[in-house]
Chain A
Amino acid sequence: MWNREKSIILSKLCVLLFMGLLAAVVVTAPWLTQWFVEFSQAGLAEKASYFMATIYVGSLPAAYLLYSLLKLLRQIEIGQVFTPKNVELLRRISWSCFVGAGMALISLLYYFPWFFLAVAAAFMGLIVRVVKNVVAQAVALKDEADYIV
């Protein structure tokens, strides 16, 4: 039977999967980049180092985002849902998205398709920010409800 605990476990597994994927991308970045510039046939050979720089620098906010996401899921798992700590974690996740979007925006100077990633990351950051605002309001309501006797 599907329940809340199994749903959280599935979410944690997905986050761990993405962590593994990120680690694999970072480790294999030189080969991935080489393969991509050869595959694209768009004369990107001299830009391979830029791609690697984007991957390495971009992996930092991505790793921080995934770590924050895992911490958030742990909090939810122990029943701590509407807490200031979770609001802070959501804020970090949102800013990680915006930082990633900023990096992708800078990267479009040498490769335009990064623009689409920038827009997607910024949009994701915006959604998480709205969720953060909702949770912050819920924390305030819960705080008040806790003091109604």
Chain B
Amino acid sequence: MTVARIPFSPAQEDSLTMLSRWMLFLVIVHGLLAALFLLGGCLGMVGSFAMFSRSPAGGALQVLNMLIVVLLGGAAGVEAGLLFQTKTELDAVVKTDDADQAHLSTAFTKLKFFFMLEMVFGLGSILINLIGVLLAAVAPELVGGRGMGGGL
């Protein structure tokens, strides 16, 4: 049986509202992140092709790195969309009494895909780190004396 209304206490409803607000903030963050990653990845890929002349292996690794950044940019964009849809469903749980369980179920479906993409982000971050180490080993002249940061 589908429960039309789940009797959340006022504190729990406040918590849901707050969750929804932070989700909206992260929608904006993920949107900006997607734009930055896509732009940075594409520009970086153009720069990476120039590295081929100095070190073919290093250039190839750098292109791979930038390809992952572009893919992560796409993933961040999809994440922003999923978070916005989740936020809309959570708002419906708080503001309406007609189908709380149905709204929650839809929100969970969106969150499932969101966390699936978070897994992709985690794997991408690990790959970028591994490629960074490989790059430093294969072509230290491309990395230089600078620290490469801590990944994503």
A and B co-occur in one complex: no
